[in-house]
């Protein structure tokens, strides 16, 4: 704790001791203006204070910088909309369908196995185990289906916000 306090005091002292830099604006007799860190040699001299920005000062971007940042943001939104439309949404829809088909197949197979075991009175215990396995598989399929559909809905909402589908 003591080391932390010492470090914080050191940083505060360092920040307070940051010097303001002086730059000399020199105007030559023929009217040319130059800036230099040393005194002017002949001509008119004016000292310009160049101090580092104070913490909390917000620098306003130039209109050109703001325009470029806007163009970059628009490009990123456009790229994301294209990615959603061309790849992410179709993949999510296919995953929902693939999961449903796999679940239907698994449930059908387990139902057939249970039915075959239920026909033989010596296999009643195995048939009951198969019933439990069928219930477990059904619950697992439903959980996975909910997860995949939630992902699909999230992507669809994002796509709608970006207006990526016509």
List Cβ neighbours of 165 (8 Å cut-off, separation of 6 or more). Answer: 85, 159
pLDDT digit string, tens, across residues 68-95: 899 999 999 999 999 999 999 999 999 9
Name the percent of the chain lying above pLDDT 90: 39
Asked whether the whole model's pTM tops 0.75, one would answer: no
List Cβ neighbours of 126 (8 Å cut-off, separation of 6 or more). Answer: 117
């Amino acid at each position: 704790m003591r080391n932390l306090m010492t470090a914080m005091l050191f940083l505060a002292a360092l920040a307070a001791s940051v010097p303001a830099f002086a730059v000399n604006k020199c105007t030559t007799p023929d009217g040319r203006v130059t800036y230099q860190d040393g005194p002017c040699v002949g001509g008119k001299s004016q000292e310009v204070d160049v101090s580092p920005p104070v913490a909390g000062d917000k620098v306003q971007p130039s209109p050109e910088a703001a325009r470029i940042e806007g163009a970059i943001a628009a490009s990123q939104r456009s790229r994301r909309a294209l990615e959603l439309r061309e790849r992410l949404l179709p993949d999510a829809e296919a995953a929902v369908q693939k999961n449903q088909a796999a679940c239907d197949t698994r449930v059908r197979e387990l139902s057939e196995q249970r039915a075959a075991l239920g026909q033989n009175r010596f296999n009643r215990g195995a048939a009951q185990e198969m019933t439990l396995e069928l219930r477990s598989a059904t619950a697992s399929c439903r959980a996975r289906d909910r997860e995949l559909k939630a992902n699909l809905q999230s992507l669809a909402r994002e796509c709608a916000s970006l207006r990526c589908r016509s």
